[in-house]
């Protein structure tokens, strides 16, 4: 399984002083081993032992915008042939610069995202995980006049396209408190520190594991190994319960196993959190809803 990371400098190693870096420095602010891509690679290798084999390709680069991603997305999608794309872009786009100009305004950001998602639809077996834009500090927000409100606006553009089937989202606004950003961000108030990288890695892994176990469960189901399939669907659900395709598979096998108690628990979760007509229809057919 190939995972392609498309991001800006938040996905890269970083020195303490980017403009005054000296090779004599003994320690980086974020080393390569502390980046979320490296953490993901090690975790997947440790868990799956090459079955399935995971390949992580980190194509993050400094000062990258969604415009840049759009210009190269066909190459990424069709030539790299990823199974999962992680998109971590937006702070460069929305940040206020001299005269309150932006590298990519919100309207253009929406248009570029639409083009990317339209192209993504041409490869139905490829999933997209979007890492939302982190808020900045209250100090930086005041200095730039409502920057966090602008960040929320761009994040809403992302959220409007999430279906938890092929497009997933990690909401950084729920984690990063503008009054205490250095829990997850470096002193520049927008790059991820080691703890921030670990946070992103763990959320990404929950989704990646869920997608992987759901796929393995489906393969076992095709081989008539119903117990093995159910165990994988259950594990995928526990790791990331919002994966709609996995929920469907899990409900289907729970019904076949006549596990009414667990089926009721999943049904209650879906009623509060999942808005998918296929799920609702399946629950109705199971006499649960």
| Structural domain contains residue 47 | yes
- Burial of residue 100 (CB within 10 Å: 0-12, 13-18, 19+) is exposed
Phi/psi at 55 (5° precision): -120, 120
| Structural domain contains residue 229 | yes
Same domain for 180 and 39: yes
Cis peptide preceding 96, ω within 30 of 0: no
Residue, of 288 and 139, whose pLDDT is higher: 139
Phi/psi at 224 (5° precision): 70, 20
| Structural domain contains residue 216 | no
Half-sphere exposure of 63 (CA within 13 A, CB side): 2
Helix axes 147-159, 106-120, angle to 10 degrees: 20
pLDDT band of residue 5 (cuts 50, 70, 90) is very high
Same domain for 242 and 144: no
Same domain for 265 and 145: no
Same domain for 69 and 35: yes
Boundary-marking domain end, from 211, 243, 270: 211
CB count within 10 Å of CB 11 equals: 27
**Cβ atoms 66, 112 nearer than 8 A:** yes
| Structural domain contains residue 219 | no
Provide the token pair at 10.
Answer: 């938040």
pLDDT in tens, 175-211: 999 999 999 999 999 999 999 999 999 999 999 999 9
Q: Which residue has the tokens 């869920």?
A: 210
What was the pLDDT predicted at 289? 54
CA 6 to chain centre: 11
Same domain for 176 and 37: yes
Mean pLDDT along residues 203-227? 98
Closest CA to 170 of 159, 181, 160: 159
Same domain for 162 and 86: yes
pTM value is 0.96
SS3 call for 8: coil
| Structural domain contains residue 66 | yes
Q: Which residue has the tokens 């289907």?
A: 252
CA 87 to chain centre: 7
Rounded to a whole number of angstroms, the CA Rg of the chain reads: 20
Same domain for 171 and 129: yes
pLDDT band of residue 60 (cuts 50, 70, 90) is very high
Say whether pLDDT at 25 is over 80. Answer: no
Mean pLDDT along residues 265-289? 90
Same domain for 140 and 28: yes
Same domain for 162 and 207: yes
| Structural domain contains residue 169 | yes
Boundary-marking domain end, from 179, 211, 243: 211
Boundary-marking domain end, from 211, 238, 257: 211
Terminal CA-to-CA distance of the chain, rounded, Å?
A: 36
Say whether pLDDT at 32 is over 80. Answer: yes
Say whether pLDDT at 47 is over 70. Answer: yes
Which residues constitute the domain of residue 275?
Answer: 224-285
Cα distance between residue 172 and residue 255, in whole Å: 36
| Structural domain contains residue 217 | no
Say whether pLDDT at 217 is over 60. Answer: yes
Same domain for 127 and 50: yes
Cα distance between residue 115 and residue 95, in whole Å: 22
Closest CA to 66 of 8, 147, 148: 8
| Structural domain contains residue 117 | yes
- Which CATH number do you get for residue 99? 3.40.50.1110
Number of domains present in the structure of the chain: 2
Do you know the residue count of the chain?
289
Same domain for 196 and 259: no
Same domain for 181 and 265: no
């Amino acid at each position: 399984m190939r995972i392609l990371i498309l991001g800006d400098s938040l996905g890269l190693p970083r020195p303490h002083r980017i403009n005054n870096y000296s090779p004599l420095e003994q320690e980086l602010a974020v080393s390569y081993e502390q980046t979320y891509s490296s953490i993901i690679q090690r975790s997947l290798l440790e868990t799956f032992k090459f079955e399935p084999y995971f390949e992580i390709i980190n194509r993050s680069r400094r000062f990258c915008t969604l415009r840049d991603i759009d210009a190269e997305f066909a190459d990424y999608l069709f030539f790299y042939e990823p199974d999962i794309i992680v998109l971590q872009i937006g702070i460069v786009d929305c940040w206020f610069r001299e005269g309150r100009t932006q590298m990519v305004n919100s309207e253009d950001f929406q248009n570029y995202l639409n083009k990317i998602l339209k192209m993504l639809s041409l490869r139905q077996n490829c999933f997209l995980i979007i890492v939302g834009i982190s808020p900045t500090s209250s100090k930086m927000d005041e200095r730039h006049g409502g920057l966090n409100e602008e960040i929320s606006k761009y994040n809403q553009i992302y959220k409007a396209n999430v279906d938890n089937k092929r497009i997933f989202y990690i909401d950084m606004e729920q984690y990063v408190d503008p009054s205490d950003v250095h829990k997850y961000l470096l002193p520049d108030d927008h790059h991820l520190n080691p703890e921030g990288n670990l946070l992103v890695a763990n959320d990404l892994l929950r989704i990646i594991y869920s997608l992987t176990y759901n796929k393995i469960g489906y393969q076992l189901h095709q081989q008539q190994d119903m117990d093995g399939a159910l165990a994988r669907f259950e594990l995928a659900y526990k790791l990331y319960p919002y994966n709609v395709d996995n929920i469907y598979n899990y409900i289907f096998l729970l019904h076949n196993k006549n596990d009414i108690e667990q089926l009721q628990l999943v049904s209650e979760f879906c009623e509060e959190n999942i808005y998918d007509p296929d799920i609702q229809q399946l629950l109705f057919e199971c006499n649960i809803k």
